[in-house]
Amino acid sequence: MFLINCQWSFEELEHHLDAASKRYIANNNIQLYMINAIDLAKKIGMGKRTNTILQSAFFALAKVLPAAEAIQYMKDAALHSYLKKGQDVVDMNYAAIDAGATAFEKVEVPASWAEAVDHKEVVAKHGREKTVKMVTSILDPVDKMDGDSLPVSAFVDHADGTFELGAAAYEKRGIAVSVPKWDAEKCVQCNQCAFVCPHATIRPFALTAEEAAAAPAQTKMADIKVGKGKGEYKFAMAVSPLDCMGCGVCISQCAVHAIEMVPMETQLPEQEVFDYMVEKVAAKPEMFVADNVKFSQFAQPYLEFSGSCAGCAETSYARLVTQLFGDHMLISNATGCSSIWGGPAATSPYTVNKEGKGPAWANSLFEDNAEHGLGVYLGQKKIRDDLKPTIEHIAENVDDEELRKAAQDYLATYDDGNANQEPARRLVALLEKRENPCEHVQELLAKKDYLNKKSMWIFGGDGWAYDIGYGGVDHVLASGEDVNIFVFNTEVYSNTGGQASKASNIGQVAQFASAGKELKSKSLAEMAMTYGYVYVAQIAMGANKVQTLKAIAEAEAHKGPSLIIAYAPCEMHSIKGGMENCQKEMDKAVKCGYWNLFRFNPDAEKPFSLDSKEPAGGYQEFLMNEARYSRLTREFPDRAERLFAANEANAKARYEHLMKLKALYE
């Protein structure tokens, strides 16, 4: 038996189902059933959660137990699992169990399915032939659960453990039930929807008159309203329905209701528009401003279409960092959520630009990722520094004035990551034009990928930075080297089942803290500030997007170690309303004083800046908005009252301490 969950009629299913599945069903006498658990879950009030409905349908069809017994066992399990979340949640699960037992229908399999044939062609995007080869030879068979049949020869190009960037763009999974629909007339072009999108599936574009004229007929556009490009470019907000995860975070950020979530099927024509924008619309460097929320989003994201949870805050942060530095960026990534969504073999969501440049990414272990990142930095720095004397000789001695000037510009920007990129490109281009290059120039060209100043980032979660990898983090911060550490702080070990970490707060329920954590969270930021020469910031993009941009830019500009700790609400928090409210939850956390925003910049005249306001109240209401806290009130109400009061008192004391720091540095 095969039960498929979809919103389609049988005719629509027949249109969309792939040929291999049709042949298998027809040739193996499969009994085919359909169920629309998606709409049923919405009607019951369970949102996107269809598993209980489908489990009930399974027992009704499979008959591994008498139906009445199976339903009762499921209801008993639901009561045990969800009573701590409230009787209303239990009742919803009961309704789902009852509905699923009868909501399916059997369909007759057409005889023609036995001979079904697919016609699929994978087309390379701006010259990524190696990526397409990898997609067709490895990714496609693995996607079809046929990876074990692949010969060793299929992996010859990847024998060193490396994979091509950008393969996630070829998956086009189409897993979202609902996706954003953009209204060009209502839109005020603030680009905040793109700023928070975890999967880079909604993006603004500035089009010339020629690009606008060549766009697909269904393309929606408007005149650029204010600022750069006004009167020169058309504005379009493109959505990729087949890559969208349907989280709705973009909706939560649109103040003018210019986006609505609609059935994905209705937006499939928009895929052609999105693909056109990505492939054919040229970058407009003059539209990019690194410290401006709106204009930062005209930059290409170098992280797209990852497999992270819908609404994931970690990917929103990482995507933003790649928009600022992605074409000259190195990433050492600690094992954890960010390595799972960031580096699945053969389906890398980190991607490249039309020149083939993008972040170079590697995963290292929990216990040594910071040291690994430092080693990557020092290795490329040594190669680059060894090449520098040759360029200094060129800048002083060659007769070619253009080449000499290029070498001088390169040296003048040697330590400036953003400014050095163009001079490095120009220098390499001129060297490649020279006839009969000498031995030293040949060495420069052989190692040309090391010439431009790199942006070195070390990524990981709080389980790594606060706990298992802390010794390495401290070692790297103490090194004085020009590296950036970015911590995705979910306040829990998200990837391994939700264990408490040293970033978990008082009263938080997690594995190994099932009765609520007794002790306050570790203040990693303040510990790092004691060095005096380390750039340190705490950010929360949903609370202050400008401060987030500023901190990332300042960290990269600082010629020394940097540490950014980003508050990242997670599925493990069980936020009321789901991860659609991820960014709003950040805002609530900062306003009530649960999370503080600040920057410590050793390069500034006044190093310490407290960027969040005095807590506005509502602290306990914030805690009750997340099941990681509220469940304690149902299991241990007296303990919850005590721990939550301690949590709030600690937050108040922390803010008062930060105010003293501010006064001290002023």
Q: What is the pLDDT of residue 230?
A: 78
**Rounded Cα–Cα distance for residues 479 and 343 (Å):** 27
Domain 178-299 in this protein, CATH class: alpha beta
How confident is the model over 105-127, as a mean pLDDT?
82
Helix (H) or strand (E) holding 182: strand 178-182
- Judged by DSSP in three states, 185 sits in coil
Radius of gyration in angstroms for the set of CA atoms belonging to the chain, rounded to a whole number: 27
- Distance CA(307)–CA(309), nearest Å, equals 7
Give residue 483's pLDDT.
Answer: 98
**What's the rounded Cα separation, in Å, for the pair 383 and 378?**
9
Output the pLDDT for position 48.
82
With cut-offs at 50, 70 and 90, classify the pLDDT of residue 122: low
pLDDT category, 86, cuts 50, 70, 90? confident
State the span(s) of the chain assigned CATH 3.40.50.970.
Answer: 491-665
pLDDT at residue 333, as a whole number: 97
CA-CA distance, 268 to 12, in Å (whole number)?
14
Sequence ranges of the chain with CATH classification 3.30.70.20:
178-299
Residue with token string 């999105």? 274
Homologous superfamily of the 491-665 domain (CATH): Thiamin diphosphate (ThDP)-binding fold, Pyr/PP domains (3.40.50.970)
Is pLDDT of 446 > 90? yes
pLDDT higher than threshold 90 for residue 273: yes
pLDDT at 229: 76
| Region of residue 215 (left: phi > 0; alpha: psi -120 to 50; beta: else) | beta
pLDDT tens track for 598-643: 999 999 999 999 999 999 999 999 999 999 999 999 989 999 999 9
Stretch(es) of the chain classified as CATH 3.40.920.10: 2-113
Instruction: Single out the residue of 637, 608, 435 nearest to residue 528, CA to CA.
Output: 608
Topology of domain 2-113 in CATH is Pyruvate-ferredoxin Oxidoreductase; domain 3 (3.40.920)
